[in-house]
């Protein structure tokens, strides 16, 4: 996730998965193109190849390409979590005064070669319940930087109502 706006009154972070979206579109185009070129010579093989390959790519596009935006707004005392995919849009709001802190969730992913890798994702501790900002885990340093930025903003934010210290 990337910090879009960081002011004392408002923090906006967003995840726009351009890379995976473009990669999946190229995957779809490659399979459909190869299938249609093959269909010129061998239609019984080329058309199913194009439909199956393009269909798999389209299904992955629908499943994995989601835009997420989290808005921390002092003036409205709200946290707004917006998620948008190709077919769905959802918006959840929570009182900013109930946000205890941002948390770095971890999980261990085992590889085929026996090695283990620690994966991370940023979450919000709202009223004692964890709310993930994104659904997927990653092994990069981005989630830790985001958690630190949210917690730093939260400490400096001029909240109207007193919060319980975490």
Measure the CA–CA gap between 32 and 53, rounded to whole angstroms: 7
Residues 119 and 94 in one domain: yes
HSE-CB of 53 using CA atoms within 13 angstroms: 18
Domain limits for position 43: 20-64
Looking at the domain assignment, is residue 37 inside a domain? yes
* pLDDT recorded at residue 166: 45
Sign of the four-CA dihedral 23, 29, 32, 36 = negative
What is the separation of C-alpha 78 from the centre of its chain, rounded to a whole number of angstroms?
20
Neighbours of 7 (CB within 10 A): 10
* pLDDT recorded at residue 86: 85
Residues 89 and 128 in one domain: yes
* pLDDT recorded at residue 164: 47
Residues 102 and 24 in one domain: no
Residues 86 and 143 in one domain: yes
**pTM of the entire predicted model:** 0.76
Which tens digit of pLDDT belongs to each residue from 42-88? 999 999 999 999 999 999 999 888 899 999 999 899 999 999 988 88
Instruction: Compute and round to an integer the Cα radius of gyration of the chain.
Output: 21
Residues 42 and 124 in one domain: no
Q: Which residue, 46, 64, 82, sits at the end of a domain?
A: 64
Looking at the domain assignment, is residue 161 inside a domain? no
- Residue segments in the chain with a per-residue pLDDT below the cut of 50: 161-166
How many domains is the chain partitioned into structurally? 2
* pLDDT recorded at residue 160: 53
Looking at the domain assignment, is residue 163 inside a domain? no
Residues 81 and 48 in one domain: no
Among 163, 161, 166, 159, smallest CA distance to 10 is for 159
């Amino acid at each position: 996730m990337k910090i879009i706006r960081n002011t004392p009154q408002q923090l906006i972070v967003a995840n726009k998965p351009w890379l995976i979206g473009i990669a999946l579109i190229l995957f779809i185009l490659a399979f459909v193109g190869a299938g249609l070129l093959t269909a010129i010579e061998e239609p019984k093989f080329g058309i199913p190849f194009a439909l199956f390959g393009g269909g798999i790519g389209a299904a992955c596009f629908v499943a994995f390409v989601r835009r997420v935006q989290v808005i921390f707004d002092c003036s409205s005392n709200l946290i707004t979590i917006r998620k948008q995919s190709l077919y769905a849009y959802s918006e959840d709001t929570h009182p900013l005064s109930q946000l205890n802190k941002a948390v770095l969730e971890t999980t261990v992913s085992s590889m085929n070669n026996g090695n283990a890798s620690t994966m991370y994702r940023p979450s919000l501790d709202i009223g004692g319940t964890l709310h993930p900002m994104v659904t997927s885990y990653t092994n990069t340093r981005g989630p830790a930087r985001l958690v630190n930025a949210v917690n730093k903003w939260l400490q400096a934010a001029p909240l109207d109502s007193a919060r319980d210290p975490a």
